[in-house]
Amino acid sequence: MAFIAQTPLVPIDVGLISDDFDIRAITTADLVVAGIALVAGMVLAYLAKRALRRVLNGIDNMPILAGDVIARIVSYAILTLAVSVALEALGVSFGLIGSVLLLIVVLVVLAARPLLQDLGAGLIIQLRRPFHVGDQIVIEGVEATVEEVSARTVRTVTVDGRRVHFPNRAVLAGAITNLTSEGGRLTTFVVGVAYHTDLDRAVEVIVEAIESVPAVFADPPPMAFVQNFADSTIEIACRFWHAPEIQAEWVARDEAMRSVKRSFNEHGITIAFPQRVLWSQPTGS
């Protein structure tokens, strides 16, 4: 028959002299009981949170946030109870007052965890400086200008006038694209020409047309490359550098595409469109 040896291990000495605590040596059985209590408490807390959240959110006029908060507090209470049982098994007895104080400490620590994470992430952002106030960045697919980096959030304003606050921990955990840090950006658009087009001439016309646009940088110079033979067109990629701001990209792209279209019209180059050829065969009598 398997049994758990009651061999004393390392004794606990918390350095406190109080009648509220019962300190004794820890045995292997104590460790097993404490571990079971913790695991059972975590499982029970998880299941209770899910069930209570489902019940509360199903109540009419119950705010979803309120249901989530209540379910979370109940799960924290169950975890605290599990910790108390585990400590009891290890010979540390807190009593009723101690258990209540432990619950309060757990709630405070868990409630403050996001704040502490934001504070730490904000410090790292300040040290690494992936962007500065005034930079235009992309975070979680949102293009915006940085207004402020505070202890908790990165405050931004989008090009369409929306103010977005990103938690520092979310900023640090995801990809940050700084659009304006390098002083210029490369933009590409594709134009399709008909299959009978002289490609050398078309590329030359495209480059000259884009070079004439004031919003396009002369250095590095614009480029054009034959990219793909599509179903009804030969695709040419047009690449050019411009100022890094978001609106500057819109202006440069618009002016470059207009200039290419005007030059194509002047030189008789056709911008292809989808075509379908139908073949018919007479049927025999």
**What confidence category does residue 248 fall into, taking pLDDT thresholds of 50, 70 and 90?**
very high
265: Cβ–Cβ under 8 A, 6 or more apart, which residues? none
pLDDT above 70 (res 228): yes
* pLDDT at residue 150, rounded to an integer: 86
Fold of 19-120: Helix Hairpins (1.10.287)
Burial 220-230 (b: 16+ CB within 10 A, else e): eebbbeeeeee
Cα 20–Cα 25–Cα 31 angle in degrees, nearest 5: 100
Give the residue from 265, 211, 269, 268 showing the smallest Cα distance to 236: 269
Output the pTM of the full model.
Answer: 0.60
Burial label for 256, CB within 10 Å (0-12, 13-18, 19+), is buried
Q: Which CATH topology does 136-178 take? A: SH3 type barrels. (2.30.30)
For 93-142, the pLDDT digits (tens) are: 666 666 666 666 666 666 667 777 788 888 888 888 899 999 999 999 99
pLDDT at 4 over 70: no
Q: What is the CATH number of domain 185-267?
A: 3.30.70.100
Residue-range domain boundaries for the chain: 19-120, 136-178, 185-267
